[in-house]
Amino acid sequence: MKKILRSVWIVYCIVLIAVFITSSFTTFISPASFSYISLFAIAFPYIFILVLVSSIISFYIKKRLAFILLICLLPGLYNLFHTIAFNFPVKFNAVKNDSTLRIMTWNVQDFVDLKPKSDTSFRMLQLINQKNPYVVCIQELTNVEGGIRRISIREKMDSFGYAYHFFSNDEVRINKKNVVAIRGVAVFSKIPFTDSGRINITKSETNENLIYVDVNFNNKPLRIYTAHLASFGLYKDTDNTAKDIYEITYTRKRAIQYKLRDVEQLHEKEVAIIHAEISNTSLPVVYCGDMNAVPSSYNYRTLKNDLQDAFLEKGFGIGVTFYKIAPTLRIDYCLADKRFKVTNCMVINQKLSDHYPVLTDMQWK
């Protein structure tokens, strides 16, 4: 019986090693060449832990196998060091000096509720005001002008001193009463813009635009980009169901696999456009946005390129930014030009939107 169990364990470890090696090279394998590679990227932290635990167990079953498992962890270090920020935790300095550029990026989920007496949108706006960034990059924004039943985010932000704004205008609707609703991404700033622009990145199910604004910070020009890569839309039709998200995922797991594959391939095309746009500018660049991709993915590596991941520079831990599905999903990023020194970065763990905001301080080198 022991021989059978040992044989089963050895077979299990061989399969685990094959899966882990695949998950270790996810950043170098494009979704176009292997459509399910994004699943391995998402699962990487869990597979890493599984290999580590299996190696410990193997010491009591077959020591040589334990050493093989530990050696197999080495290819995964690249993904590990992009998934976890190995810095000492430091307290974020609430007060910024004049040499510090503070930027917040946040997928606000349409501020959840735009009704005038909404507690959630009020708390979200107050959080932005309290953290007092110079620039706020917002994704999944709906801004309403001229409405009675919906507040204007532009007006609220203007009251906090964000006198300058630029919208992506992914979707613009005007009703019979001339109420204007604009959806997409936006940049709000306390610093004047010297230029701005929109670049379309997809016209599939929904229109998505990359936008940029140019500003002068401490007499030096800077270009700030923001975008929202296409949503996976895995649970759009389940808002009014009694099932929890894990139950839904299990019951439609095959459909979700196909959806992840298709959207990741779309992301690859979007990222290629954004990467080309960033590469063509001579200005120092900061990119902020909801990438809908984990740090162990091909699309993350392509978009990050030579930029600094602010969270890896000064954050701590995994830094999950989308908390509704798994505790390892860091999909919102602030990527800074190397002409900046990142002095602090934190994920603000307040469950208001379905994403946490990311707050970054940086200075010119």
The string of pLDDT tens digits covering residues 266-310 is 889 999 999 999 999 999 999 999 999 999 999 999 999 999 999
- Burial class (CB within 10 angstroms; exposed 0-12, middle 13-18, buried 19+) of 98: exposed
pLDDT average, residue stretch 158-183: 93
Pairing of strands 358-364, 340-347: antiparallel
Mean pLDDT of the chain: 90
| Best CA proximity match to 230, nearest among 262, 278, 257 | 262
pLDDT number for residue 3: 81
d(C-alpha 133, C-alpha 130), whole Å:
9
SS3 317: strand
pLDDT number for residue 91: 83
Long-range pairs for 123-129 at CB < 8 Å and ≥24 separation?
123/350, 123/352, 124/352, 124/353, 125/153, 125/156, 125/157, 125/160, 127/348, 127/350, 127/352, 127/357, 128/104, 128/157, 128/160, 128/357, 129/160
Whose tokens are 């505790």? That residue is 327
Domain boundaries of the chain, sorted by first residue: 2-83, 101-364
| Residue 23 pLDDT greater than 70, yes or no | yes
pTM comes to 0.90
**Measured over all CA atoms, what is the biggest interatomic distance in the chain, rounded to whole angstroms?**
78
* CATH T-level fold of 101-364: Deoxyribonuclease I; Chain A (3.60.10)
Tell me, rounded to whole angstroms, the distance of Cα 231 from its chain centroid.
11
d(C-alpha 218, C-alpha 11), whole Å:
61
